[in-house]
Each structure stands twice: as structure tokens, then as C-alpha cells.
């Protein structure tokens, strides 16, 4: 069955950096677009970024220029490099299969940006 | 970007009752590129409906979606205890994909 497992979250100071990872299994990773979606505490869902199998990518305006999405098809892994983090980036970050519809989601990893 | 407004914010119902959730878009969503997700506390969202009315894999037939253009509805025909959760609509017609603010279905 499809499994997506995120890691790399934690507490970071404003202006700091963090790299999230998502390990995928149960499907042919290289065949699928992959996405990151986040959810601030007690709030709704916000799409962050996607990357295609051919490495076409895009970002939400709120993270453009600060976040970088990448993938390693040989390792069945998705990444999100987050730089210049702000308090408003505090959220659970979910790895999700496909774009622009998200058919499977990981359990998420919490990123807290605070001094 | 397309703004999705969900109503009501909270729906208080009893098990066995029918739930009707609304999602209104600020612009027409073409080709019915509208999805619904269920999220339980501490869990990831789960895809329920795509294409406005197609059930995702493994979703029980008590869940149904309808609508077109700017007005969409998720109906749960008879609420089971495990259906009490937050439901989000999402449009994927135009980038960026956007979500509604959610409707919480709680036990009355």
C-alpha cells in the first residue's frame, strides 16, 4: 500500500533553515508528481509546492524564493529545503502524492519557527 | 486565485442523520475539478471525492458529491461514528490549488 513518511521537522529560529524529507513506498515513485501541503496549528490547508516526474516545479507565492523542492527517484524520496524561515511558516508539513489533486498523504512533520 | 467558502462552519448532528456540506467558489470551477477531503484530529487528510462526484478508492457509498460551476455539495447519507471530522473542499482547476476553510461535523 502507498506509504509516505515525513521527517526533518523541529524547532528553528526565525531566519533559520530546515530540510524536510519524505520517504515513499508502495507505488512507482518516479511516475508521480509529488507535493508539499502545510497546515498551521488550528488552521486550514495550504498548498506549498509541487515537482513533476520531469522536475517541472512551482511554489506558492508565500514561499517562493525561500523554499526549494527536489526529488531523488533512485531513493524514492522527496525533499523540501526551507530557508529564511518566518514565524508564519510554523505548521505541520505534509508530503502528498500527485498534483494538483492529492490522493495520498503522509502523517506530517511539525515545523515550529520561534525564537 | 480561486477562493472557496465552506458552510456551515460547524454542523451538529447525531449518528444516522444526513449531513449536507456546501462549498462555494469565487469563480467557476471548470471540468468540475473539485475534491473533498476528510481530516480527523491528529491525522492527515484523506481524499474522499474528486471530479466533484467520483469517490476515491475505498470510500463508502454513503459519501457523495455533487454540483458544478461555483456551487458544490458533499452529502453523507447516514452518519457513522467515524464520520465526525473536519471536511475540506479543494479546487484544482486553476493554479494555485486552493482549499476551503473547512466544515466541522460534530456529534450533537
Query: Which residues of B are less than 8 Å from A108 in CB distance?
Result: 44
B50-97 pLDDT, tens per residue?
999 999 999 999 999 999 999 999 999 999 999 999 999 999 999 999
For β-strands B86-91 and B34-39, DSSP reports them as antiparallel
With an 8 Å Cβ cutoff, are B99 and A47 in contact?
Answer: yes
- Report yes or no: A97 and A104 within 8 Å, Cβ to Cβ: yes
pLDDT of residue A55: 83
pLDDT of residue A76: 97
Could you give the CA distance from residue A87 to residue A106 in angstroms, rounded to a whole number?
Answer: 23
As averages over each run of 10 residues, the pLDDT of chain A (115 residues) reads 97 98 97 97 96 93 97 97 98 97 97 97
Phi (first) and psi of residue A89, to 5 degrees: -85, -5
Q: Is the pLDDT of residue B25 over 90?
A: yes
With an 8 Å Cβ cutoff, are B99 and A107 in contact?
Answer: no
User: Mean of the pLDDT values across residues B1-5?
Assistant: 97
- The grid coordinates listed for A52 are 513533476
Helix or strand run (H / E) with residue B86: strand B86-91
- Report yes or no: A22 and A5 within 8 Å, Cβ to Cβ: yes
Q: Is A42 on the interface with B (CB under 8 A)?
A: no
Question: Left if phi > 0, otherwise alpha if psi is -120 to 50, otherwise beta: which for B69?
Answer: left
Q: Is the pLDDT of residue B31 over 90?
A: no
Which B residues, 47 through 86, put their C-beta within 8 Å of a C-beta on chain A?
A: 47, 50, 56
Confidence tier at B32 by pLDDT (50, 70, 90):
confident
Q: Is A1 on the interface with B (CB under 8 A)?
A: no
Using the 8-state DSSP alphabet, how is residue A101 labeled? S
Amino acid at each position: 500500500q502507498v506509504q509516505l513518511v515525513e521527517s526533518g521537522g523541529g524547532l528553528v529560529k526565525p531566519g533559520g533553515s530546515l530540510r524536510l524529507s519524505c520517504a515513499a513506498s508502495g507505488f512507482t515513485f518516479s511516475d508521480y508528481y509529488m507535493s508539499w501541503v502545510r497546515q498551521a496549528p488550528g488552521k486550514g490547508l495550504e498548498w506549498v509546492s509541487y515537482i513533476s516526474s520531469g522536475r517541472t516545479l512551482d511554489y506558492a507565492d508565500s514561499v517562493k524564493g525561500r523554499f526549494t523542492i527536489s526529488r531523488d527517484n533512485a531513493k524514492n524520496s522527496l525533499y523540501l529545503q526551507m530557508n529564511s524561515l518566518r514565524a508564519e511558516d510554523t505548521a505541520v508539513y505534509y508530503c502528498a502524492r500527485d498534483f494538483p489533486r492529492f490522493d495520498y498523504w503522509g502523517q506530517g512533520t511539525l515545523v515550529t519557527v520561534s525564537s | 486565485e480561486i477562493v472557496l467558502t465552506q458552510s456551515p462552519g460547524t454542523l451538529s448532528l447525531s449518528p444516522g442523520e444526513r449531513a449536507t456540506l456546501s462549498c462555494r467558489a469565487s469563480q467557476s470551477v471548470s471540468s468540475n475539478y473539485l475534491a473533498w477531503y476528510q481530516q480527523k484530529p491528529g491525522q492527515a487528510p484523506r481524499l474522499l471525492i474528486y471530479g466533484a462526484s467520483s469517490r476515491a478508492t475505498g470510500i463508502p457509498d454513503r459519501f457523495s458529491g455533487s454540483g458544478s460551476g461555483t456551487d458544490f455539495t458533499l452529502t453523507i447519507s447516514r452518519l457513522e461514528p467515524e464520520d465526525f471530522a473536519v471536511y475540506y473542499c479543494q479546487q484544482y482547476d486553476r493554479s494555485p490549488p486552493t482549499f476551503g476553510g473547512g466544515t466541522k461535523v460534530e456529534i450533537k
